[in-house]
Structure 1
């Protein structure tokens, strides 16, 4: 066990010495390798999307444990939870009127859990909420997402309001974690439960992105045309990729902290 940890530490030290371009290249290679691996071991790629939602639910469960056991919401962004509840509510509405399935049930459970977390932060544990650190202006993401949804949305036969709502939920989900990342950057130190939660989101984003990429590869691009015409199919795929890369830096430092045996995660400047 000690030799393996020593080897892992040596790899981490080598990575730290590399210039940013080399690190970016290695991240791309690692991501592509993971996609190839998933393509061969997961035969029904729709299961990846279910796994992504399960990871999100697991992250929420970690938050619930933190709030009930430690009786503190320090380090958690209420604004990120608000954005999460918003895109889940919109997506749930679209799911009810457009394609009721297993994802509807999963989203319902996740939304209910998120609303409970919001209630705890806003009312029960308000005294230790870091409001001054949670200073990301959410209209910077809500307004652009709404405008983008008006311009680029599905071209299906559904009602125009439903199609715009669907697009809005996709775009908002891609950037909903930004307030949480800003808060962590402001504090520089992230305690374990919050780090576990954000890492679970990162894994969920990667699995969701892998689901879409592998579906496109398996259908040889036919999935994109099935989603409609124009820029919408490409925007769906781009949104998934953006979600993954937004959390890539954090996930790197999270894994590094585990390898180093650190109890808390310390973020250097410029991660977010």
Structure 2
């Protein structure tokens, strides 16, 4: 006699059978339900942004552990790390000249860890195999973000250069993971530590997005006015949402693999 399946496996099996549109709808519903729950249990929603940066730091720590333990950078995108260092450096500059708070300290620690990862990949653990897979040109990501920052940036009282830099780091952060997803598309098989790192980024992106959405709701839209006028307030929210949805597909397969007891994540064709 077969043992009854655990409810979580029954749910995952049901989800697998659903068409993409139904999965997307369910993902949106789950995201909205999570936002409602976070709003109810967390009173100071600024803590969500701190939590997002903390989760990002945990992801970097997992990455460092992988590099030190396995002595290999297989599955990792050097270009994503370089883009991460770039937007963190620009955001730190903006923090120092525009506002200095706890986020500045967290960003500084994350930037230091990211630079260490870049050093290890570039000089200590470089592999020719990953150069072929990590083939997305950086200017495909950086140039559009720079052009968009020139066109759409804050309308606050800060110097125009600082406002453009601020917009640039917001846009670049939203798409900095694209080279890593490109690598995963090329490999299809993702070892555990890399999967944990990317999943941590997905959680961090969601928490950051939740922070902005709940802040807007709490202020009844006044926060958008404080950010300036024109397209910029909307672009901030869109950038946060884009960050979340870019990684949503991967997070789905990660959770599915985790509950299926698989140590190595295998992505189907067309995923992420």
Alpha-carbon deviations, 1:66-123, whole Å to 9, x = none?
0111111110000000000000000000000000111110000000000000000000
Gaps of 5+ in 1: none
- How many corresponding residue pairs? 270
| Distance of 1:4 and 1:218 partners within structure 2 | 45
Deviation at 1:126, TM superposition (A): 0.9
| Distance of 1:126 and 1:186 partners within structure 2 | 18
1:207 corresponds in structure 2 to 207
Deviation at 1:4, TM superposition (A): 9.1
2:68 corresponds in structure 1 to 68
Structure 1 residue 156 corresponds to structure 2 residue 156 = yes
| Distance of 1:33 and 1:152 partners within structure 2 | 31
The answer on whether the counterparts of 1:74 and 1:128 sit within 8 Å (CA) in structure 2 is: no
Deviation at 1:127, TM superposition (A): 3.2
Where in structure 1 do 4 or more consecutive aligned residues deviate above 2 Å? Answer: 3-6
TM-score w.r.t. the length of structure 1 is: 0.97
| Distance of 1:165 and 1:105 partners within structure 2 | 19
SS at match of 1:247: helix
CA root-mean-square deviation: 1.1
Deviation at 1:20, TM superposition (A): 1.2
| Distance of 1:71 and 1:244 partners within structure 2 | 30
Deviation at 1:6, TM superposition (A): 2.3
1:105 corresponds in structure 2 to 105
Alpha-carbon deviations, 1:242-265, whole Å to 9, x = none?
000000000000000001000100
1:55 corresponds in structure 2 to 55
Alpha-carbon deviations, 1:123-179, whole Å to 9, x = none?
011136611011112211100000000000001111100000000000000000000
Structure 1 residue 135 corresponds to structure 2 residue 130 = no
More moved, 237-246 vs 134-143: 134-143
Gaps of 5+ in 2: none
TM-score w.r.t. the length of structure 2 is: 0.97
Deviation at 1:269, TM superposition (A): 1.2
| Distance of 2:5 and 2:147 partners within structure 1 | 49
Change (3 A) 1:177 1:195: same
Alpha-carbon deviations, 1:175-223, whole Å to 9, x = none?
0000001101100000000000000000000000000000001111000
Structure 1 residue 248 corresponds to structure 2 residue 244 = no
Change (3 A) 1:5 1:97: farther
| Distance of 1:255 and 1:62 partners within structure 2 | 18
